[in-house]
């Protein structure tokens, strides 16, 4: 009996929510992740692709995928004329054939067909194409031996349609169910076992139509939704079409794949690489397709086309159902979401179904603890729903101890659990993770101040993203805090509103302190975002080094300095009067900074526009040791030792007050950081000097600078003229670059870049020679200056020397003298007037026994100083030195030629006799004398008290003593006097 029942199969379409945002994103790690498995395309794939181009499966046929899939797996085949016949009824023989193929027994069937043909020579059985499949179907118990006999009957007309097995007759749906279950059971009885507890079939209204013993089989296929029926009817006795059968086979899904020994995966095509390898006569073109699979791992498909020596080509290809047509593996594109079936035994790729181009999309949720990183899983919670996704392998490390979010690797314990993260998903695989910032409490903008207008009250900054932001402020409604460069950074850290505190806060500031270039954070007024309510700022400075070339003072407005930077560039900078200047850790006056000083500057630098910057100096530190001339040497160039970086001079002298002195056969000098070489005024290289000037008869002048108590060469100037010394005199004229004139010399003197100009012990530029500088000049040749050595003109006029008798002492602050005498030339001029001198801890107090503590300079107790007579060195009313020494009325002058062991040897001695008030030569034959230094001796040079080792040979000194040396020499033939007050006069 034949019942026609119309069956409609439902096709489920899964749709992804369209509200998710779509971003363009490729798989970042696809190439760097390890390849999980390589699958080669199918050697017969090329033929299968050809077979699957059915002319009667329209491009949007509902069963197209099922047909293509089963075709690719070689379970179904089309008719020889290139059609599939989707609407054709399925006959029993076709159904059984498919079952046999599905359980992988096609080869057995072909063998059986041959066996049958051989056993029946000449029989028409050869025309029964399904004979082998029928045999196998019987072998595995799908049909009985009687049914097999019917099936193999050549002439089917002889059979009874009611009782016999007509192979060409339509198969019923319930029959299919039974065969399916039994066929699969052949492979593994557990895959699709008959279910003897009947549930689902009772949902069908036509359950009574089901043949009773088929119940468990139909229960099995309906429970698994392999066959479903329509309108609550299973229609067990209905027939089905070839398209429907294909769909049923497809619905078996993993059961089918397990039965066939295949595996099915899903994934996203991440990257396609083409590689061509050329050998002798053979060419292999390979396309590697990297796929991110459902487990986050990377699988690789290989398509290849090999052309061998004789031109034969071999193609490995796999059918791909892409869009509406079956094509080659080469048709896959990056970013496509696919389902693919492989044969894991041979690692062959059998079929690829492109499910549609999947766009990556973002979802956001709170990160859950990373408890399942070992399985490459990450969970987020959104509105209480926890969703778990698989991670791309590149997002976690192989030891599963770290996870990568944005560009940061987090250890598992450090991951921002509970924070909002945005996952970029493609095919439910996490491609990247971004951490969403936390809850925003304030509106703040941060950046670097670009301009500030205090008249119209707005501030413009360049924010961290490089955008220009302008905000207004009202002075009354703005609090400003600023971190100045001199405050320690840890002063930042408490917020005033949170911890109100009214003690001194060095960060409290006003808008006026905000400078262009500062780093600022501005909090916006919540009700009007164009206004700022609070600013926190910090000075942003850079460090620069240079050598001062010129200093121009502008009084209270500060000064401008010309600085020569390390790279040779020079620039003027204004130094505000309030800029602190430091030297050796002390704050000093601007005037301390001299041309030639090396300085380190803190500079506030701001970029106004690309190409325009402003700079303001915030602090200057003068290097106390930098560029301090120690000596000037003259000699012949010996060698330049490059390994030890030394220069040696032969027959050398050093420059002293009296000219060249201190002869040595050879000296060795270390190079400084930078040494420059000049020859006759032009700069030359070291190699030139080495090759052409060493061991010649030229004069070599070397300036050395102080380097931590040692000296190093700074400038080497070589000249070929004859050397002559001109004694100290005043400069009368300088044009600033090549000519100077000296008071003591009529002719002009030329200077050049090789001229060594020393001013205040610093090596300086020619431009710093000015009238009326007091200079010693070394000429080389008739009128070229080799050295211009400028020193302060000796004078002790700024300080006064008194003697006074102490009347009262205000401990540690001041003392009063009853009367006093002031030293004028050699005479002490008496004045009966009381006078008060201030003192402090810097005042040096010396009595006969040496230094006296300020605390002991008191007017009471047994050490009372009242009535004691002291010599007072005073600058105005301030006493810098208070020395108890005798009333020295006698005098001696002379030029120092040796200083040693607390004695000064002088020559050309003149003696002052207080009695006559006249100066006289000590001797006309041998006029030298010895000055003894005592604990209470005092030496004064250039208005300052100096120590004995600051005296130089050649210094002209005046000594105040108690003895008339001339008389002493006559009487006792001794020529030493005690020096109490020693004044350096020249």
Partner 1 sequence: MKKKIVSLIIGWVLIFQMISFGSDGGEMGTFGGISEGRNLPKTIDAYVDSGLGLITEFEYKEMIYISGAPIEFSGTITVEIDDAKIMDAPAGTYEERYTIDATSIAGDTMSREIVFLTSYRIKESTFKNQIIRVSTMTDWSENFNIDGVDYNLILGQSDFSKSSIEDMTPGVSYYDTVISYNAVYSTSTDDLINISVEGNVYGFQQPWAKVETQDLTMILESTGANEWQMQVHIQPFMKAKKTMYYDETAPFPISFGGTYNQRLEREATLTYEIQTTDLVIEEIDRSGSIYLDINNTVEKLPIPDGLDFIEGHWAEEDLKKLYSMEIFTEVPHDGMQYEAITRGSFVKALCLAMNIDTSDYENLEVATAPQYYGDVEFAHPMYKYIMAASDAKLVQGVGADFNVAKPITRQEAFVIYIRVIGLERLGVSNNPITPFVDDAQIASWARKEIMAGYNLGIIKGDALGKVLPNTMISKTEAAAIINRLIDYCREEISQDYQY
Tell me whether residue 494 or residue 625 sits nearer to partner 1 (CB atom). Answer: 625
Tell me whether residue 95 or residue 370 sits nearer to partner 1 (CB atom). Answer: 370
Annotate each residue in 591-630 with x if it binds partner 1 (CB under 8 A) or - if it does not, as one string.
Answer: ---------x----x-x-xxxxx-------x-xxx-----
Least distance to partner 1 from the beta carbon of 841, Å? Answer: 5
**Which of 263, 203, 208 lies closest to 227, judged by CA?**
203
Q: Does the N-terminal peptide bond of residue 6 adopt cis geometry, omega within 30 degrees of 0?
A: no
Least distance to partner 1 from the beta carbon of 299, Å? Answer: 16
Tell me whether residue 329 or residue 938 sits nearer to partner 1 (CB atom). Answer: 938
Interaction of residue 484 with partner 1, rule CB under 8 A: no
Interaction of residue 900 with partner 1, rule CB under 8 A: no
Least distance to partner 1 from the beta carbon of 53, Å? Answer: 35
Structure tokens at 267: 């994934």
SS3 category, 727: strand
Least distance to partner 1 from the beta carbon of 490, Å? Answer: 13
Interaction of residue 670 with partner 1, rule CB under 8 A: yes
Interaction of residue 585 with partner 1, rule CB under 8 A: yes
Annotate each residue in 636-655 with x if it binds partner 1 (CB under 8 A) or - if it does not, as one string.
Answer: ------xxxx----------
Tell me whether residue 641 or residue 651 sits nearer to partner 1 (CB atom). Answer: 641
Measured CA to CA, the distance from residue 121 to residue 108 in angstroms comes to 20
Site for partner 1 in 817-846 (CB under 8 A): 841, 844
| DSSP states of 474-528 | -GGG-EEEEE-TTS-GGGTT--TTTS---S--TTEE-GGG--TT-EEEEEEETTE
Which stretches of 336-457 are assigned E, i.e. beta strand? Answer: 336-343, 348-357, 361-367, 377-382, 385-391, 402-405, 408-411, 420-426, 429-435, 444-453
Site for partner 1 in 948-967 (CB under 8 A): 949-950
Annotate each residue in 224-253 with x if it binds partner 1 (CB under 8 A) or - if it does not, as one string.
Answer: ------------------------------
Interaction of residue 465 with partner 1, rule CB under 8 A: yes
Least distance to partner 1 from the beta carbon of 46, Å? Answer: 29
Structure tokens at 681: 């005024």
Site for partner 1 in 251-280 (CB under 8 A): 271
Tell me whether residue 110 or residue 406 sits nearer to partner 1 (CB atom). Answer: 406
Structure tokens at 128: 């029964």
* Residue from 202, 442, 464, 692 in contact with partner 1 (CB under 8 A): 464
Interaction of residue 568 with partner 1, rule CB under 8 A: no
Tell me whether residue 84 or residue 633 sits nearer to partner 1 (CB atom). Answer: 633
Q: How does strand 976-984 pair with strand 928-941?
A: parallel
Structure tokens at 263: 């595996």
**Which of 527, 777, 159, 157 lies closest to 148, judged by CA?**
159
Least distance to partner 1 from the beta carbon of 274, Å? Answer: 14
The window from 111-119, 382-390, 535-543, 761-769 that contacts partner 1 (CB under 8 A) reads: 535-543
Interaction of residue 545 with partner 1, rule CB under 8 A: yes
Structure tokens at 979: 């020096």
Least distance to partner 1 from the beta carbon of 464, Å? Answer: 5
Tell me whether residue 464 or residue 663 sits nearer to partner 1 (CB atom). Answer: 464
Measured CA to CA, the distance from residue 235 to residue 220 in angstroms comes to 16
Interaction of residue 131 with partner 1, rule CB under 8 A: no
Q: Which residues of 856-876 are buried (b: 16+ CB within 10 A; e: fewer)?
A: ebbbeeeeebeeebbbbbbee
Structure tokens at 648: 């040696």
Measured CA to CA, the distance from residue 652 to residue 635 in angstroms comes to 4
Tell me whether residue 267 or residue 270 sits nearer to partner 1 (CB atom). Answer: 270
For residue 948, give every residue at least 6 positions away whose Cβ sits within 8 Å of its Cβ, in sequence order, or none. 899, 902, 904, 933, 939
Q: Which residues of 307-334 are buried (b: 16+ CB within 10 A; e: fewer)?
A: beeeeeeebbbbbbbbeeebbbbebbee
Interaction of residue 519 with partner 1, rule CB under 8 A: yes
Interaction of residue 799 with partner 1, rule CB under 8 A: no
Interaction of residue 17 with partner 1, rule CB under 8 A: no
What does the DSSP 8-state code read for residue 229? -
Least distance to partner 1 from the beta carbon of 610, Å? Answer: 3
* Residue from 81, 849, 947, 972 in contact with partner 1 (CB under 8 A): 947
Helix H or strand E segment including 616: strand 612-622
What does the DSSP 8-state code read for residue 924? S
Least distance to partner 1 from the beta carbon of 32, Å? Answer: 5
How many angstroms separate the Cα of 280 from the Cα of each of 308, 309, 310, 316? 9, 8, 11, 21
Helix H or strand E segment including 41: strand 35-41
Place of tokens 């062959």: 348
Least distance to partner 1 from the beta carbon of 461, Å? Answer: 10
Least distance to partner 1 from the beta carbon of 566, Å? Answer: 7
Per the CB < 8 A criterion, the answer to whether 66 and 76 are in contact is no
Tell me whether residue 10 or residue 613 sits nearer to partner 1 (CB atom). Answer: 613
Helix H or strand E segment including 178: helix 173-187
Tell me whether residue 553 or residue 600 sits nearer to partner 1 (CB atom). Answer: 600
Least distance to partner 1 from the beta carbon of 392, Å? Answer: 11
Measured CA to CA, the distance from residue 803 to residue 221 in angstroms comes to 128
Least distance to partner 1 from the beta carbon of 644, Å? Answer: 5
Annotate each residue in 678-717 with x if it binds partner 1 (CB under 8 A) or - if it does not, as one string.
Answer: -----------------------------xxxx-------
Q: Which residues pair with 905 in a beta bridge?
A: 898, 930
Measured CA to CA, the distance from residue 874 to residue 882 in angstroms comes to 9
Tell me whether residue 228 or residue 646 sits nearer to partner 1 (CB atom). Answer: 646
Site for partner 1 in 149-178 (CB under 8 A): none
Q: Which residues of 84-108 are buried (b: 16+ CB within 10 A; e: fewer)?
A: bbbeebbbbbbbbbbbbbbbbbbeb
* Residue from 377, 544, 714, 941 in contact with partner 1 (CB under 8 A): 544
Tell me whether residue 277 or residue 782 sits nearer to partner 1 (CB atom). Answer: 277
SS3 category, 566: coil
The window from 23-31, 174-182, 767-775, 781-789 that contacts partner 1 (CB under 8 A) reads: 23-31
Interaction of residue 853 with partner 1, rule CB under 8 A: yes
Tell me whether residue 169 or residue 540 sits nearer to partner 1 (CB atom). Answer: 540
Tell me whether residue 318 or residue 628 sits nearer to partner 1 (CB atom). Answer: 628
Site for partner 1 in 430-449 (CB under 8 A): 447-448
Tell me whether residue 71 or residue 394 sits nearer to partner 1 (CB atom). Answer: 394
Residues of this chain that bind partner 1 (CB under 8 A): 26, 28-32, 271, 394, 398, 404, 407-409, 447-448, 450, 462-466, 519, 540, 542-545, 565-567, 584-585, 600, 605, 607, 609-613, 621, 623-625, 642-645, 670, 673, 707-710, 841, 844, 850-851, 853-854, 946-947, 949-950
């Amino acid at each position: 009996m034949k019942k026609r029942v119309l069956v409609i199969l439902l096709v489920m379409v899964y749709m992804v929510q369209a509200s998710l945002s779509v971003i363009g994103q490729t798989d970042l790690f696809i190439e760097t992740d390890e390849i999980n498995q390589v699958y080669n395309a199918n050697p017969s794939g090329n033929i299968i692709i050809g077979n699957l181009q059915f002319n009667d499966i329209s491009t949007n046929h509902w069963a197209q995928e099922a047909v293509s899939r089963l075709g690719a797996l070689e379970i179904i085949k089309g008719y020889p004329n290139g059609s599939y016949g989707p609407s054709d009824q399925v006959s029993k023989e076709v159904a059984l054939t498919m079952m046999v193929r599905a359980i992988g027994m096609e080869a057995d069937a072909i063998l059986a067909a041959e066996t049958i043909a051989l056993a029946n020579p000449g029989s028409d059985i050869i025309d029964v194409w399904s004979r082998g499949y029928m045999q196998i179907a019987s072998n595995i118990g799908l049909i009985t031996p009687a049914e097999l006999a019917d099936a193999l009957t050549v002439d089917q007309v002889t059979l009874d349609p009611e009782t016999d097995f007509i192979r060409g007759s339509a198969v019923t749906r319930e029959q299919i169910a039974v065969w399916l279950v039994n066929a699969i059971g052949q492979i593994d009885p557990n895959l699709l076992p008959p279910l003897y507890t009947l549930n689902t079939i009772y949902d069908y209204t036509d359950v009574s139509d089901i043949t009773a013993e088929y119940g468990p089989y139909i229960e099995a296929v309906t429970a698994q939704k392999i066959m479903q029926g329509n309108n609550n009817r299973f229609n067990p006795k209905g027939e089905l079409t070839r398209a429907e059968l294909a769909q049923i086979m497809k619905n078996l899904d993993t059961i089918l794949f397990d039965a066939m020994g295949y595996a099915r995966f899903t994934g996203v095509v991440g990257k396609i690489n083409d590689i061509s390898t050329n050998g002798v006569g053979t060419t292999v073109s390979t396309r590697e397709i990297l796929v991110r699979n459902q487990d986050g791992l990377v699988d690789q498909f290989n398509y290849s086309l090999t052309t061998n020596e004789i031109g034969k080509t071999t193609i490995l290809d796999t059918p791909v159902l892409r869009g509406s047509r079956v094509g080659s593996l080469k048709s896959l594109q990056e970013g496509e979401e696919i389902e693919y079936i492989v044969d894991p035994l041979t690692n062959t790729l059998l079929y690829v179904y492109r499910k549609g181009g999947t766009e990556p999309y973002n979802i956001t949720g709170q990160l859950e603890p990373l408890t399942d990183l070992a399985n490459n899983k990450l969970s987020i919670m959104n509105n209480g729903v926890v969703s778990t996704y698989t991670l791309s392998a590149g997002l976690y490390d192989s030891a599963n101890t770290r996870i990568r979010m944005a560009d940061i690797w987090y250890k598992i314990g450090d991951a921002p659990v509970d924070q909002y993260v945005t996952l970029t998903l493609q095919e439910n695989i996490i491609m990247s993770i971004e951490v969403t910032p936390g809850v925003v409490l304030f509106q703040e903008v941060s950046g670097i101040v670009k301009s500030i207008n205090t008249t119209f009250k707005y501030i413009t900054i360049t924010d961290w993203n490089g955008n220009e932001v302008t905000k207004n402020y009202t002075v009354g409604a703005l609090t400003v805090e600023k971190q100045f460069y001199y405050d320690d950074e840890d002063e930042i850290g408490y917020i005033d509103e949170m911890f109100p505190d009214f003690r001194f806060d060095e960060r409290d500031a006003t808008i006026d302190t905000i400078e262009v270039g500062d780093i600022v954070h501005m909090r916006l007024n919540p009700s009007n975002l164009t206004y700022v309510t609070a600013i926190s700022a910090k000075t942003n400075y850079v460090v620069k080094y240079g050598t001062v070339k010129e200093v121009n003072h502008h009084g209270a407005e500060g000064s401008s300095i010309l600085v020569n930077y390390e790279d040779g560039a020079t620039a003027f900078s204004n130094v505000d009067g309030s800029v602190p200047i430091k030297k050796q850790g002390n704050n000093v006056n601007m005037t301390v900074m001299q041309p030639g000083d090396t300085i380190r500057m803190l500079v506030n630098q701001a970029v106004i526009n690309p190409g325009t910057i402003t700079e303001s100096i915030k602090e200057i530190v003068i290097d106390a040791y930098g560029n301090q001339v120690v000596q000037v040497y003259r000699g012949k160039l010996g060698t330049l030792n490059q390994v030890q970086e030394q220069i040696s001079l032969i027959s050398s002298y050093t420059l002293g007050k009296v000219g060249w002195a201190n002869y040595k056969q050879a000296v060795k000098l270390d190079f400084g950081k930078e040494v420059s070489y000049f020859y006759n005024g032009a700069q030359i290289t070291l190699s030139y000097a080495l090759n052409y000037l060493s061991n010649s008869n030229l004069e070599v002048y070397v300036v050395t600078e102080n380097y931590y108590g040692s000296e190093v060469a700074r400038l080497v100037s070589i000249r070929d003229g004859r050397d002559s010394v001109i004694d100290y005199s005043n400069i009368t004229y300088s044009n600033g670059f090549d000519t100077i004139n000296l008071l003591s010399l009529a002719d002009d003197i030329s200077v050049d870049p090789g001229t060594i100009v020393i001013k205040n012990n610093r090596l300086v530029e020619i431009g710093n020679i000015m009238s009326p500088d007091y200079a010693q000049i070394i000429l080389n040749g008739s009128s070229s200056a080799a050295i211009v050595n400028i020193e302060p003109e000796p004078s002790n006029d700024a300080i006064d020397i008194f003697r006074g008798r102490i009347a009262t002492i205000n401990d540690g602050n001041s003392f009063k003298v009853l009367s006093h005498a002031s030293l004028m030339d050699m005479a002490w001029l008496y004045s009966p007037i009381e006078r008060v001198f201030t003192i402090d801890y810097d005042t040096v107090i010396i009595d006969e026994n040496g230094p006296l503590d300020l605390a002991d300079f008191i007017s009471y107790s047994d050490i009372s100083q009242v009535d004691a007579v002291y010599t007072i060195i005073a600058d105005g009313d301030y006493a810098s030195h208070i020395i108890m020494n005798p009333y020295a009325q006698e005098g001696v002058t002379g030029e120092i030629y040796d200083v040693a062991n607390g004695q000064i040897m002088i020559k050309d001695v003149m003696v002052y006799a207080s009695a006559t008030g006249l100066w006289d030569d000590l001797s006309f034959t041998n006029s030298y004398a010895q000055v003894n230094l005592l604990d209470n001796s005092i030496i004064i040079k250039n208005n300052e008290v100096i120590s004995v080792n600051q005296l130089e040979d050649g210094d002209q000194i005046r000594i105040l003593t108690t003895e008339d040396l001339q008389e002493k020499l006559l009487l006792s033939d001794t020529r030493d006097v005690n020096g109490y007050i020693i004044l350096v006069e020249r």
